[in-house]
Structure 1
């Protein structure tokens, strides 16, 4: 019976001693000289069309009566380019008087950022810099958000079809239908020429839809493998195929290889 009582007692004393020791370790207080360092050493900036900003924090172990300024330089190992992928609001960081932290702002540039990503490496320099956490690595990625589904007023100006100069330009209402996050479909790639225009009565094309399935990748419109019964539908050579990220207007420039029809369709969101 004594062994049964003593074993739990010994275990209790051991646990108590461990907890007491651990609590003592947690109450250590820094009392050395002032040192500064990056609060975090890595992060990711996803650059959307609104050119977002990101604050990087520099912290210090001591609050002082006067403000302190530290230098931040771009490491040669960086692949991101100032003025292309990003801009720095400043090359210095100031920690205000009686404060423990300051911030450096990095501004993303959507037009220059890469979908595959680039790397910005920053070094913290100056007096009273810590011997650790003085390098910050920021991975910068372009984040393309596509949201084209909806009703559009579509005006098509034709470069060639069989009944020019009639039916040029044409304006119809058309729905852009989402297939997945970046892929869409419209029921008449010709802007109405095949479904509502003269091809319908002359060639019987008003029997059917004439879809175009296209992709929107960061405002660039493209497609492959699209056909009508007489040949391929391809991107018009030299034409604009893009989304205006400010207005949401879609421009699709198309060419039919079978008989040479071509046009530029401008989709205005409604």
Structure 2
């Protein structure tokens, strides 16, 4: 009988709680208009990477602004300015001093262009253009997402390898020297990055493990840096722990040198790859 009373009490409490909630279909929670940068929520801003091919090169980056509202009946006009704290210099790194962008009635997004003076920027520079929403008509500016850091990254053109190429890889570590044929494949949609099919050059395969211990390396003006592991049987496989940490590519001899480590097996490796 006691259990039955408890069941009735729980059921009654559930009904009482349910009756306190309004039907969400009958209430509009937000009917104002707020405007924000689409990438304003990114913790480190928006990064654009451009490949530098000549000294006069320019590129365009489109920046998106969003309407946040359940009501799009009116247009929104936003004045975009540049924060003086920007390290991107007008006429040197960018050609942008500000603009006005309009989100038409019935629309929720609009974009505006920023011109990057790619040919003027040396690879290794990291200029930042700090964009701010100065004023808006027809909407309030988002408190949290009304500014945006545009991080400009310029790299050299990279043509180290194609999918058809095969490389002879030789690794050196505390386990000795190992050699294997590997593939170095460009990462689709990402300039200057390559997936190496076995950075250990057969070390793990010699002990009965997979021949695929793959990782991505980035090339910037013939300097090779570890990006991330793609596939491995070992959780400790990763970037180099000790110096040197930056590898190299010699276009005259088609030779790559990369560095890596395996913390789980206390390995610090160097692998040399020569295109066949």
TM superposition score normalised by structure 1? 0.44
Which structure has the greater CA radius of gyration?
1
TM superposition score normalised by structure 2? 0.44
